[in-house]
Amino acid sequence: MERTSVELFAGGGGLVQASTNAGFRHLLVSELAPRACETLEANGFEGYDEGTPSRVLAESTRTPLARGDVRRLDMRFLKEREVDLLAGGPPCQPFSLGGVAKGDEDERNMFPEMFRAVREIRPKAVICENVRGLLRKSFEPYFEYIKRELSLPFLQRADSTWTDHDHALRERIAADDTDPTMSYRVEAFPVNAADYGVPQIRNRVILVAFRSDLKVDWKLFRDEVEETHSEDELINAYHGDAYWRNRTVTVPDHVRADVLDRYPARLPTNAPRTRLPWRTLRDALEGLPEIDLKRLDKKTAQGGVADHVGWPGARIYKGHTPNELDRPAKTVKAGVHGVPGGESVMLLDKREKDPTAPGGFRYAHRYMTVRETARVMTFGDHWLLRGPRSERMRQLGNAVPVQLGEVFANAVRTTLDKAEVKP
Residues marked as catalytic: 92
In Å, the largest CA–CA distance within the chain is 76
Alpha helices in 225-280 (DSSP H): 231-238, 253-262
Rounded Cα distance, 211 and 271, in Å: 42
Listing DSSP states for 103-169 in one string gives GGGSTT--HHHHHHHHHHH--SEEEEEEEGGGGSGGGHHHHHHHHHHHHSTTS---SS-HHHHHHHH
CB 296 within 8 A of CB 369: no
CA distance 203 to 194: 9
Distance, in Å, from the CA atom of 378 to the CA atom of 375, rounded to the nearest integer, reads: 5
CA–CA gap between residue 298 and residue 32 (Å, rounded): 28
Cα 29 to Cα 160: distance, rounded to the nearest angstrom: 31
291 three-class SS: coil
Cα distances (Å, whole numbers) of residue 250 to 239, 254, 416: 16, 12, 45
